[in-house]
Amino acid sequence: MTRVVAPAKLTLSLAVAGVRPDGYHELRAEMVALSLADELTFTEGGSGLTVVADPGTRAGSLAGEEGNLIGRALAAVGRTAAVHVVKRIPLGGGLGGGSSDAAAVLRWAGCDDPAIAVGLGADVPFSLAGGRALVEGIGERLTPLEFEARDFLLLVPPFGVDTPLVYAAWDAQPSAEGPNQLTAAALRVEPRLAAWRDALAELTGCRPTLAGSGSTWFVEGGPAAAAAGEKPWLERGGERARLVRAHTVPAGWEGG
């Protein structure tokens, strides 16, 4: 058995340049890998996917799209394995959990082919590289950046956001405002995001940024986490959102 750590990715800034002739969106983003991570254990020659999930990860659908991504990655490298996943990265949270898991498969298989990585998903090349990078194109062009130690407080609402719907909303009404140009589109697709943004702002006194296409909001810095104390959840209107403290990790990080 072989254990591989799959860090979440956090998109610190995101600019969307429009739709290419092949239907993909041209992007320019700064991404970092986080200490929030899934763990995958591979038993070569076996089969099947088993999952142990943290609360608030919405992992009930893992056997669907995200499980298929693990299966697709195994097929892409021509390997078979039984895979056990300890799921900590929420589904539909804009933190690249599926891409991180696919990249873990490639690392386990010793595959660093960028064409295979981008064929599995736009975030997979970054998740395979890790660390900190400028990401361009549809995710296939990476410029490594110097590692910076940074701390974040993440708020994970009790729902996910459909990424294709967010991009469709951006196509209908493009925006170039803010560090994440998908924010306005995500708020149109899922208006409940606004209440959780405001709750995190009230808690920390900081202006939250949306992670990718959502649904996770984040603020940076130790003081923000200190303001939240040790609370694992934030409650609002009878619902609660998970609070996660995380820090950046360098390329090649394997936990600990």
Residue tagged active-site, from 101, 112, 123, 162? 123
- In whole numbers, what is the pLDDT of the chain averaged over residues? 91
How large is the angle between the packed helices 97-109 and 65-76, nearest 10 degrees? 20
Model confidence at 64, pLDDT cuts 50, 70, 90, reads low
Length of the chain: 256
Please tell me the predicted confidence (pLDDT) of residue 75: 94
Structural domains of the chain sorted by starting position, each given as residue range(s) with its CATH number in brackets: 2-144 (3.30.230.10), 151-247 (3.30.70.890)
What percentage of residues in the chain have a pLDDT greater than 70? 95
Identify the active-site residue in 9, 38, 87, 101. 9
How far lies 98's CA from each of 22, 38, 61, 63, 149, in Å? 23, 10, 11, 11, 24
pLDDT digits (tens, 9 = 90+) for 143-154: 999 999 999 999
Token pair belonging to 113: 């082919």
**Are residues 71 and 78 in contact, defined by beta-carbon separation less than 8 angstroms?**
no
State residue 63 phi and psi, 5-degree precision: -70, -10
87 is catalytic: no
CA 190: distance to chain centroid? Answer: 18
Question: What's the pTM?
Answer: 0.93
> pLDDT per residue over 189-244, tens digit each?
999 999 999 999 999 999 999 999 999 999 998 776 676 767 888 988 889 999 99
Nearest Cα neighbor of 185 from 193, 55, 197 is: 193
For this structure, is 123 an active site residue? yes
